[in-house]
Amino acid sequence: MSNTQYSLTDLILDNLLNLRGLISRSQSLDYMLAKKRDEISNREFRQAVSRLQARKLLAITEKNNQKFIRLTDRGQLEALLLKAKLDNQKPWDGRWRLFIFDIPEASKDKRDSLRSLLKKNNFCKLQASVYVSPYPLNREAISYLNQSGLRDYLRILKIEEMDNDEELLKKFGLKKKSQ
C-alpha cells in the first residue's frame, strides 16, 4: 500500500493478503506491531479482527489448540480492491482507457464492486456503464477483476483519440498530446 493513511482493518486485510494463507492470531499481531510498533494496541487489533469477522472478510479457525486468522474469499477480494489503486505518477501516454461493461441485474453486487473500483481509481463516468481514464489499471486491479469474475462482463479499450475530450483533459489536469 502507498503512503496514504489506511484504517487498521485495511492494514490487517492488506497484511493477510501479502502473507497468503493462515496465520496465527499472535503471529499476525506480532507482524502488525513490527510494522506499526507504537500505533496498534492489542485491544485495537482484537476489535478490528472482530469487525472484519462480522463483515465476513476473515475467519478464525482453530488447529492444534491454536487460533488462526485467514481471509475469506470475500476478504481476499476486498483486500485486492484496496490495493487496486492507479499509479498516476507516470506521464500520460496520450491514450484514454475506456471501460465498457454490461453486468446482469442478477449480479448487481458485482456491478457495484466494479463501479467502486473504477471510482476509487478516478475513472470518469461517461455513461451508465462506460468509464474513462487516462491511466491503466495496475496488476492488483486486474487481478481483482479476474478473481471476482467481473472480467467476463467488461471490455477495456485503449484509444488514441476521443472527440470533445477537452472537459476530460481539464478534469485530469492534462494537455493534449502533440500529434
Strand segments (E) across 54-176: 58-63, 66-71, 96-101, 124-127, 130-133, 154-159
Q: Is 38 exposed, middle or buried (0-12, 13-18, 19+ CB in 10 A)?
A: exposed
**Residue 45 resides in a domain:** yes
pLDDT tens profile 130-149:
999 998 877 777 877 887 77
Higher pLDDT, 22 or 132: 132
DSSP letter at 154 equals: E
In the chain, what's the furthest Cα-to-Cα distance?
Answer: 67
The whole domain housing 44 covers: 8-81
User: How many domains does the chain divide into?
Assistant: 2
Beta-strand pair 124-127/130-133: antiparallel
Helix (H) or strand (E) holding 23: strand 23-24
| pLDDT over 80 at 8, yes or no | no
Grid coordinates belonging to 156 = 477495456
User: How would residue 4 be classed by pLDDT, with cut points 50, 70 and 90?
Assistant: very low
**Residue 38 resides in a domain:** yes
pLDDT tens profile 45-97:
778 888 888 988 888 888 788 777 888 877 877 777 777 665 556 788 899 99
**Residue 37 resides in a domain:** yes
One domain for residues 76 and 153: no
Domain end among 22, 54, 81: 81
Q: What does the pLDDT read at residue 5?
A: 47
Task: Report the chain's mean pLDDT, rounded to a whole number.
Answer: 77
Higher pLDDT, 18 or 93: 93
One domain for residues 105 and 164: yes
Under a CB-based contact definition with an 8 Å cutoff, are residues 121 and 141 in contact? Answer: yes
**Residue 130 resides in a domain:** yes
**Residue 178 resides in a domain:** no
Q: What is the CATH number of the domain that holds 146?
A: 3.30.70.240
Report d(CA 60, CA 166) in Å as an integer. Answer: 51
Sheet with 124-127, strands from edge to edge, namely: 124-127, 130-133, 96-101, 154-159
Q: What does the pLDDT read at residue 159?
A: 93
Grid coordinates belonging to 111 = 456491478
Report d(CA 145, CA 138) in Å as an integer. Answer: 11
One domain for residues 37 and 64: yes
Question: With the C-alpha atoms ordered 165, 170, 173, 174, is the resulting torsion angle positive or negative?
Answer: positive
